[in-house]
A and B are shown apart, each in its own frame.
Chain A
């Protein structure tokens, strides 16, 4: 069953909180919040989150997609994942 955008974003928040060991509830995250600025996540840990997305959604990002701007907010991550799932 295809996930609704809301569910997808919620699931992404869960993955982010889980993989990055953030001490907040997923629902507290804003869709437009910068992960690096709001939570001080460095690029090494952010990449670990990307690997988590690939595993959980069974998708794969191309090397040229691996830029910070593509993964800095829940909103842009959700857009990327949606494209991969279609």
Chain B
């Protein structure tokens, strides 16, 4: 079962989809900008898998992204936080607890939302903790891709607002550890958590594991995420 819904966030109605039904809810916080495209398939496959296990899964587009209203240039960290809170509200409508999957830059939003007592577990796929570092990296990637200087904050057609860039750059401090069980999954060529992932896990007081597969958020082709889905589903089922 797949039900499109309109999600109230401030004065906006965001595009959201509720998959399945059941006593356990999973809220998925997708990555931002170009990375969202490559994440579509693994996220959809995970939603389908969790639904088959009796979970209710909530997927949505932040304001200014996907099928939600607004333009990306209007996105601020505050609007992302507000949208996350709205989605969390929807996720908890039929249950007292909810698990969250944060993908890439969605990870920081998941961690910041984790003070909510209704959250019971978090899983993070290749989490981005430093927004500033991530922003500089996507900017460099864009420059390399196009062979020319990036014009202002327009990165691959995503115009980052000054406000959003400032908020990302302010993320120099690691976030507080979520007070709930947390799993971080590194994705890439490593067969076990590398030093960077271990440091993230230590900061978040989390368990770390790795899945060897191409970084799907960079891919334009099909990536088979079976092992990633299996580990994620197992974690949410067991936690």
Interface set of A (CB-CB < 8 Å, partner B): 18-19, 21, 42-48, 50-52, 55, 63, 66-68
The CA of A64 and the CA of B196, in the complex, are separated in Å by 26
Interface set of B (CB-CB < 8 Å, partner A): 137, 140-141, 143-145, 147, 188-189, 196, 214-215, 218, 220
Contact A44 B189 (CB under 8 A): no
Chain A residues in 8 Å Cβ range of B140? 47, 63, 66
A47 in contact with B145 given A19-B188, A21-B189, A42-B220 (CB within 8 Å)? yes
The CA of A42 and the CA of B220, in the complex, are separated in Å by 10
Contact A68 B189 (CB under 8 A): no
Contact B145 A44 (CB under 8 A): yes
Contact A21 B214 (CB under 8 A): yes
Q: Which B residue's beta carbon lies closest to that of A69?
A: B147
Chain A residues in 8 Å Cβ range of B215? 48
Q: Choose among B144, B188, B196, B214 the residue that contacts A43 (Cβ–Cβ < 8 A).
A: B144
Q: Which B residue's beta carbon lies closest to that of A61?
A: B140
A67 in contact with B145 given A21-B214, A42-B220, A48-B218 (CB within 8 Å)? no
The CA of A48 and the CA of B216, in the complex, are separated in Å by 12
Main SS class of interface, A: helix
Contact A46 B144 (CB under 8 A): yes
A18 in contact with B189 given A43-B144, A66-B143, A67-B147 (CB within 8 Å)? yes
Contact A66 B144 (CB under 8 A): yes
Contact B218 A50 (CB under 8 A): no
Contact B189 A50 (CB under 8 A): no
Q: Which A residue's beta carbon lies closest to that of B149?
A: A63
Output the least CB separation between B39 and chain A (Å).
Answer: 14
The CA of A51 and the CA of B126, in the complex, are separated in Å by 15
Chain B residues in 8 Å Cβ range of A48? 215, 218
A67 in contact with B144 given A42-B220, A45-B218 (CB within 8 Å)? yes
The CA of A83 and the CA of B218, in the complex, are separated in Å by 29
Output the least CB separation between B220 and chain A (Å).
Answer: 7
Chain B residues in 8 Å Cβ range of A21? 189, 214
Chain A residues in 8 Å Cβ range of B137? 51
Contact A19 B189 (CB under 8 A): yes
Chain A residues in 8 Å Cβ range of B218? 44-45, 48
Closest 5 CB pairs of A and B: A18-B189, A66-B144, A43-B145, A47-B141, A47-B144
The CA of A24 and the CA of B145, in the complex, are separated in Å by 25
Known: A43-B145, A47-B145, A52-B189. 10 other contacts (CB 8 A): A19-B189, A43-B144, A44-B218, A45-B218, A46-B144, A51-B137, A63-B140, A63-B143, A66-B140, A68-B147
